[in-house]
Amino acid sequence: GAMRNRAEVDATLQTAKVNPAELLPVVHCLSFGPQAAAGECCLLQLEPGLCAEIEAGCSLVIRGEKDEQAVLCSKDKTYDMKIADTSNMLLFVPGCKTPEQLNADQESCNIIHSQIAGFSNNYWELRRCRPKLKKLRKLLMEDPYEGPDSRKDQASTFSKYTTEDLLSLIQASEEEILHHLQVIDACKIEGYWRILEFDYEMKLLNHVIQLIDSESWSLKKVPLRTCLEELGSLEPTAMIEHILLSYGRKYFDDAGEVYFEMHEDKICRAIAQMLLQNAVKFNLSEFQEVWQQSVPEGMTTGLDQLKGLALVDRSSRPETIFLLKVEDLPEGNQERFNSLFSIREKWTELDITPYIQDLCAEKQTVGALLTKYARSSMQNGVKVYNSRRPIS
């Protein structure tokens, strides 16, 4: 129909017994736009920072397979998405001015015809969450790199993933994905992200350790150039450099030469894993003896190095130790706790912390997690935690 005019608006005001003198001169005549009922518009409630990012021109991405709950990713953060219902009707109106804007306007028009673009009684709510990165390691473990001599690698590229592949499959922001690839010591081989198969990784590490020993280098000053020269005939130079980067800190001397300061803790930990993976559990004191003998000269082993990798059972006689890797445990909070309590009924905070630390959300503490998912009691004067529910 024809658009309302000022006379019609004034007539309505009169009928409604509203005094025009009490109103600002501008009226918005609201009508429904041609696509208003089509339902193609929806609302997304923004967390702090996201609004500024959008205004700066950043894109957002929604990620999720059919069997996953959708998440929204900015450049560096991940958010759970949930529909929130409201009992009210929300209309979205372009070109509608607020009283401040009208007062500031010098324009003399007194009718604005605004078309309602859409309406809804719900909106998407966001909540910052931990990036869902367990799948990343799972994908890369489908086809770990076993070295150039492995015949397996000449096969298809089926289980191999480029950065773009990972971005479309992993429910996390790009920055969180790239950071995690670094954390798990992944490397790019022929454009695909790969994790080294553990035995191959140990083989490479062993080459470096033997060379350090035969050259009598300080563990704090391992020269890249010589490593590549001496070991280049045994393994690809990219792999030698990768193992040095994984187990050492790269730096330059005054002459610009590249050196590595080897990570004592990380090397000891890897050697422990190599020893522990061969049996279900070990006699603790025997293990500690063999372990110390197995690490490079000058390095000192300690159980603190094994947090999140192995668990000591001090209740058994003799005391034992067994492999328990946090990355093998479930990603969801409740599932993680269920899993831990089925492995051991009662945990001290010291023992359980390395296995739940990664569950902490931004600003959440281990203590808060324990309060929520466990029940505490005293055992022999020590505070222990057990499951809140019966474990089948």
Partner 1 sequence: ATACLARSGSAGGLAEWVLVELQGEVEPRQSGGLAGSLLGDLHYTREGVPVLIVGHHILYGKVVQLEKPFAVLVKQGAEEPGPAGLDTCYTIAALIKTKLLFKTRPKPIITNVPKKV
| Type of residue at 346 | K
- Taking CB under 8 A as the binding criterion, the range among 13-21, 211-219, 284-292, 326-334 that sits at the site for partner 1 is 13-21
CB 301 within 8 A of CB 270: no
Contact 101, 17 (CB under 8 A): no
Q: How far is the CB of 362 from partner 1 (least distance, A)?
A: 17
- Work out how close the CB of 164 gets to partner 1 at its nearest, in angstroms, rounded to a whole number: 9
Span 29-58, contacts to partner 1 by CB under 8 A = 29-37, 40-48, 50-51, 54-55, 57
**What whole-number distance in Å separates Cα of residue 128 and Cα of residue 124?**
13
Stretch that binds partner 1, among 23-31, 217-225, 284-292, 337-345 (CB under 8 A): 23-31
Q: Closer CB to partner 1, residue 114 or residue 387? A: 114
139 or 329: whose CB is closer to partner 1? 139
CB of 188 to partner 1, least distance (A): 21
What is the smallest separation between the CB atom of 172 and partner 1, expressed in angstroms?
Answer: 12
Chain residues 74-103 in contact with partner 1, contact rule CB under 8 A: 86-100, 102
Q: Which of 61, 84, 183, 279 binds partner 1 (CB under 8 A)?
A: 61
Give the contact letters, 330-359, x = binds to partner 1 (CB under 8 A), - = no: ------------------------------
Which amino acid, residue 223? P
**Using CB under 8 A as the criterion, what x/- string covers residues 129-168 for binding partner 1?**
--------------------------------------xx
Q: For partner 1, give the closer residue by CB, 178 or 189.
A: 178
Task: Give burial (CB, 10 Å; 0-12/13-18/19+) of 239.
Answer: buried
Does the footprint of partner 1 cover residue 257 (CB under 8 A)?
A: no
> How many CB atoms lie under 10 A from the CB of residue 13?
14
Structure tokens at 253: 């001397």
Could you tell me which residues are beta bridge partners of residue 320?
Answer: 283, 313
Query: Could you tell me the smallest distance in angstroms from the CB atom of residue 159 to partner 1?
Result: 18
**CA nearest to 91, candidates 111, 121, 113:** 121
Neighbours of 105 (CB within 10 A): 11
Residue 382, Cα to own-chain centre: how many angstroms?
A: 34
Residue selected from 123, 198, 217, 322 as contacting partner 1 according to rule CB under 8 A: 123
| Cβ(195)–Cβ(98) below 8 Å | no
Selection from 182, 190, 187, 203 nearest residue 153 by Cα = 190
Judged by beta carbon, residue 96 or residue 184, the one nearer partner 1 is 96
User: Which of 127/249 has CB closer to partner 1?
Assistant: 127
- Here the tokens at position 301 are 């082993």
* CB of residue 119 to partner 1, shortest distance in Å: 6
Distance CA 28, CA 96 (A): 7
According to DSSP, the residues that pair with 251 across neighbouring strands are 259
